[in-house]
Amino acid sequence: MIGRVLKGWMPRSLYGRSTLILLVPVTAILLVVTIASIQRIYDGVSRQMSEAVANEVRLILGQVEAAPDAGRAMEAALEVATPLGIEINTVDEPVVTQHEWIDLSGRTVIETLTAEVPGVSAVDLLTRDAFARLAVDTRFGPVALDVPRRRLTIRNPHQFPVLIGVTAILMSVIALIYLRNQMRPIRRLAWAAEAFGKGRSVPYRPAGATEVRSAGAAFLDMRDRIERQIEQRTMMLSGVSHDLRTPLTRMKLGLSLIEDDEEARAMSRDVEDMERMLEAFLSFARGDALEDPVRTDPREMVRDLVARAARADPVHLGPMIGEGTAMLRPDALRRAVGNLIGNAVRYGHEARVGVEISDRDIRFIVEDSGPGIPVEQRDFVRKAFTRMDAARNQNRGSGVGLGLAIASDVARQHGGRLVLEKSADLGGLRAELHIPR
């Protein structure tokens, strides 16, 4: 329970947590040293100095008590008090015990003088600057003794904790600046990894401590291997596609020369299906991995896709919420949204395409009026070569099970995801392509 509470208050960034690790011990040490200095300097030293002054005050009061009359008593007291720097006068107005709340040693001075000097009725540390006034009752009446404050406490007692505090703050600032410089290579590595996860390859050079350099070098090796693998896969499948198109073209040409009967038409449909499947396989494998992100307006992209699809199918433009541009891979996104539109018109009677743009992400939304996909099978259909034809409408033809897989793959290349839900308006499937900005 305590761990969960502390976790909620902990900073989430590495720099924030490192700062906390640095400042907590420094603050604790500063508090301990401050408390120790208060106990030793403010309390102990002030008590010793006040006891010494109390002895002198008792000596002065002894002269007063030994005098035969009030006049002689004042003369005898002045003879002792003047060399000690203590002033003695009769009390003209009441003396009240008081001190400033920030005066850490004042309480100790008042307690010591009250306990050590008999007859002390009040100790005033505020009325006269740099002096402590003691009101003492004698047999000739109350007298006031003004003792220099420097004789009761050390001068500028706040200097020690202030010096420690300023030094601690200065060292903490220097340490935070150094820590920030150490965090910069880690942030650059995280930025490069995040960009690569969104399909962008940004310049990066390992820097910083040895461990950070090792992690950066490992990231560069991993990025190079992935890019080479994607490039090799694309080149291989492009070659396969090129090689397969040649015999398919010859087959089409041969079918066009034979008699037009039912068997020839069936074979032509098979050849067209093979071409369509070949294009789908190549599209899925290629994934526009080599395409560079460019500044793109999602609203214009959706309008163009809807205008093209509406020429042959009942596709309508949905809500267009928000505005702005983002760094996107337009060809990949057109292919992904186009596949979602193709699925929508294949399995439903109509489709609606919209986009929602916010500060955090861009959502391309495609809805249809078909039977939809059961909740328990929505993760399953994102896999390649997965078809739900047994459960959905086949009147518009059958695909190869790559439409949702391509859309999901494009979303991951942008650092986003594909969300499948039920359409509240059309009753079919609602596919949302979430792309972070």
Query: What pLDDT, on the 0 to 100 scale, is given for residue 291?
Result: 64
pLDDT class for 117, splitting at 50, 70, 90? Answer: very high
Query: What pLDDT, on the 0 to 100 scale, is given for residue 36?
Result: 74
Helices (H), 38-98: 46-66, 70-81
| pLDDT digits 0-9 by tens, 130-141 | 899 999 999 888
Query: What pLDDT, on the 0 to 100 scale, is given for residue 143?
Result: 92
User: In whole angstroms, what is the distance from residue 69 CA to residue 73 CA?
Assistant: 6
Query: What pLDDT, on the 0 to 100 scale, is given for residue 317?
Result: 93
Is pLDDT at 394 greater than 50 in this prediction?
A: no
User: In whole angstroms, what is the distance from residue 5 CA to residue 343 CA?
Assistant: 47
- For the entire predicted model, the pTM comes to 0.51
Tell me where in the chain the CATH 3.30.565.10 domain(s) lie.
290-436
What mean pLDDT do residues 406-430 have? 87
What mean pLDDT do residues 265-294 have? 70
What mean pLDDT do residues 161-175 have? 83
pLDDT class for 7, splitting at 50, 70, 90? Answer: low
CATH architecture of 11-151: 2-Layer Sandwich (3.30)
The mean of the pLDDT values for the chain is 83
Of 413, 275, 281, 403, give the one whose Cα is nearest residue 337: 403
The distance of Cα 296 from the centroid of its chain, to the nearest Å, equals 28
pLDDT class for 388, splitting at 50, 70, 90? Answer: low
In words, the CATH class of domain 290-436 is alpha beta
CB-based burial of residue 179 (10 Å sphere; 0-12 exposed, 13-18 middle, 19+ buried)? middle
What mean pLDDT do residues 225-232 have? 79
Tell me where in the chain the CATH 3.30.450 domain(s) lie.
11-151
| pLDDT digits 0-9 by tens, 170-212 | 888 888 888 888 888 988 998 888 888 766 778 889 988 888 8
